Structure 1
């Protein structure tokens, strides 16, 4: 089993009078993390675990009277609610419980879509919740379990099959592909469909495939709408839903000089490349692909997002491009500084664009396969950025 970076952080938040919301895509390992916490802390006898994928458990929590909830919980000290977004009025239920028990009991709720659970809990749990995000396995989590040499030996597989825990635990490439296709066909946006947030599921699939072919490029919602036969507003809505289901994320452009800096459109990347490759049914080795550079760019940018989130580095992230096609792949802005990255699979001598450096002061680094571990293997004691209360993977939009 892989050791998750945020496990100890979750435990450190226990009994602070707040509900802990653990949010992440389906199959990303939320339930396994909860079970690991229960066993490592030896709190099996003190814990109540409710799985809201089951209607029986959902109905237990659909109680409007506090006395009924008290009867269900009894003398249990830890209450774990899995897939809490499926409970009607989950926000009000959690508010009643946290107001009743305060610091005497700990409530942990997992959710696979922020579309529902964060919206439902936003107002009722104001000042009463701690939101933590869980992503597909990070480079640091993989190397802590398998070692750096094994990670580098299998490096290409992460660009092809991604890093969902269940996928990494498969023994053969055929099994990995089969599991990814099953995940894409049955679970990927199940919550969107269950909550009837879209009218045409087939258009959603076509949109995802179109976005899969545009990673590393700027995305025009207008052009996507024309291609799919839907209006721009619908494209924006679907992209927003896919973001809130932790399938894709946007990378906005960085600009202050609107006359010289061209791009105003976002780039869109996938949290997991295995999902992306399954959508377009392309698991060819890197040497037989035309999108290798885009895959590596997506991989690094998503891994930096995880790295900042797990190490409490609050940053906005961007890309930059000017009218002369000079470009910087990734800009992280935090602590009043710009940290710029060029992302190249193979080691190359690359210099920061002069049109950028003459306007902005930044720390410029190049990430390639040879030095990749330098940017993601971190001793927690050396983290320079103190924890902040804001969401650590916030994107400027």
Structure 2
């Protein structure tokens, strides 16, 4: 199937144009944010003022921006598109000047760090923005583009190479593309973040997290393994979260005896990046970490789905001090859904009785390749 892959948020973002608020799209680098906005502007036949946080001249403009300079810059144009906004200081204040003086102008901002971009626009634009997150391509987007049957056949590819747009559209060069993404983004781009001073530590930390996908992480153990302080480990993990490389899953506890109350696991937003960190693109039939790959894929796809659908359920895992565990929970008020992940559909699986005895009203389900489409679609 040819043509562009439609993004789930595209229609909603399009409807928000010229509603009197700034549009902000967060997400990993290379996830398609710039492409999405340019495509929407093209469909609307709009030519924007384009400013890029990677361009020093554009960034310098924000040092002395005033309402009159905005008027000079805008001319007759009605849209300002600011890409890589996380690299621009004073962004929120400058945009506020524009929207306060021109109610006929639409500002769109994209950025690859939720923390730095949010901090720069949060206070000046409180109540004046629509926010979206755009991840690597989701199962629902891929199934709509390729068709359910064809996408089902590509499942093993997704487990190994992930779903970044350039990976999906260039299957002949996936290893090179992923290595480029990992090298340029994980190690070079992240060095620009405030607080990253030891790239070798970051690399070791990412490898350690990649090897522990699906397992509870100990900050003290990571610190000892890498040879740095626990504080530095926690700081670097937070930066990796804010850059949409990994996300945490915390433990669920109803304060019952022997439930783990402060545990955390980390997953990658994209399987391909996880495997690139480990430089391991071994095909699925030969892998000894297929359980971790399957769990990472299923949970990350569910997280994308829930984010796009603005689902209310909060994600957790569950474990007791005597090692009884449930892979993934979604909790909404008093309603609990529990899930286990099995790559082999024939392998018998059930949620541990230790959990069902404590939470008898919980819904339980095992997610396999046979029912993943319904769960993440």
In structure 2, the residue matched to 1:337 is 335
Q: Distance between the aligned counterparts of 2:9 and 2:126, measured in 1?
A: 23
Q: Distance between the aligned counterparts of 1:358 and 1:171, measured in 2?
A: 47
Q: Distance between the aligned counterparts of 1:88 and 1:352, measured in 2?
A: 49
The C-alpha deviation readout for 1:44-69, integer Å capped at 9, x for no partner, is 3xx22222212222233333321011
Does the CA contact (< 8 Å) of 1:61 and 1:69 recur in 2? no
1:65 equivalenced with 2:103 (yes/no): no
SS in structure 2 opposite 1:341?
strand
CA 1:10/1:321 → structure 2, altered by over 3 Å: closer, same or farther? same
Q: Distance between the aligned counterparts of 1:231 and 1:86, measured in 2?
A: 28
CA 1:222/1:30 → structure 2, altered by over 3 Å: closer, same or farther? same
Shift of 1:112: 0.8
Does the CA contact (< 8 Å) of 2:317 and 2:326 recur in 1? yes
In structure 2, the residue matched to 1:149 is 149
Shift of 1:336: 4.2
Scaled by the length of structure 2, what TM-score is found? 0.95
Scaled by the length of structure 1, what TM-score is found? 0.90
1:374 equivalenced with 2:370 (yes/no): no
Stretches of structure 1 that go unaligned for 5 or more consecutive residues are 378-397
SS in structure 1 opposite 2:76?
coil
Q: Distance between the aligned counterparts of 1:141 and 1:75, measured in 2?
A: 36
In structure 2, the residue matched to 1:222 is 220
In structure 2, the residue matched to 1:74 is 75
SS in structure 2 opposite 1:43?
coil
Shift of 1:190: 4.3
Q: Distance between the aligned counterparts of 2:193 and 2:265, measured in 1?
A: 27
In structure 1, the residue matched to 2:85 is 84
The C-alpha deviation readout for 1:343-390, integer Å capped at 9, x for no partner, is 11121443332222222222212110011111122xxxxxxxxxxxxx
SS in structure 1 opposite 2:299?
helix
The C-alpha deviation readout for 1:272-301, integer Å capped at 9, x for no partner, is 111110111111011211110010001111
Shift of 1:306: 0.4
1:7 equivalenced with 2:5 (yes/no): no
In structure 2, the residue matched to 1:97 is 98
How many pairs align? 372
Does the CA contact (< 8 Å) of 1:250 and 1:269 recur in 2? yes
Alignment of 1:253-268 (within 5 A): 253-262=251-260, 264-268=262-266
Q: Distance between the aligned counterparts of 2:71 and 2:358, measured in 1?
A: 61
In structure 2, the residue matched to 1:131 is 131
In structure 2, the residue matched to 1:26 is 29
In structure 2, the residue matched to 1:187 is 185
In structure 1, the residue matched to 2:175 is 177
| Greater Cα offset, 244-253 or 178-187 | 178-187
Q: Distance between the aligned counterparts of 2:138 and 2:49, measured in 1?
A: 29
CA 1:276/1:375 → structure 2, altered by over 3 Å: closer, same or farther? same
Q: Distance between the aligned counterparts of 2:42 and 2:156, measured in 1?
A: 34
Shift of 1:200: 0.8
CA 1:300/1:217 → structure 2, altered by over 3 Å: closer, same or farther? same
Does the CA contact (< 8 Å) of 1:254 and 1:319 recur in 2? yes
Q: Distance between the aligned counterparts of 1:239 and 1:313, measured in 2?
A: 25
The C-alpha deviation readout for 1:196-223, integer Å capped at 9, x for no partner, is 4222111111100111100000000101
CA RMSD across the alignment = 1.6
Does the CA contact (< 8 Å) of 2:341 and 2:366 recur in 1? yes
Stretches of structure 2 that go unaligned for 5 or more consecutive residues are none
1:112 equivalenced with 2:109 (yes/no): no
In structure 1, the residue matched to 2:238 is 240
Q: Distance between the aligned counterparts of 1:217 and 1:317, measured in 2?
A: 16
In structure 2, the residue matched to 1:394 is none
Q: Distance between the aligned counterparts of 2:16 and 2:164, measured in 1?
A: 25
Does the CA contact (< 8 Å) of 1:113 and 1:191 recur in 2? no
Does the CA contact (< 8 Å) of 1:319 and 1:330 recur in 2? yes
In structure 2, the residue matched to 1:384 is none
1:41 to 40, 44, 63: 44
In structure 2, the residue matched to 1:364 is 364
SS in structure 1 opposite 2:114?
coil
SS in structure 2 opposite 1:227?
helix
| Greater Cα offset, 324-333 or 364-373 | 324-333
Shift of 1:191: 4.4
CA 1:335/1:73 → structure 2, altered by over 3 Å: closer, same or farther? farther
CA 1:3/1:289 → structure 2, altered by over 3 Å: closer, same or farther? same
Q: Distance between the aligned counterparts of 1:196 and 1:335, measured in 2?
A: 37
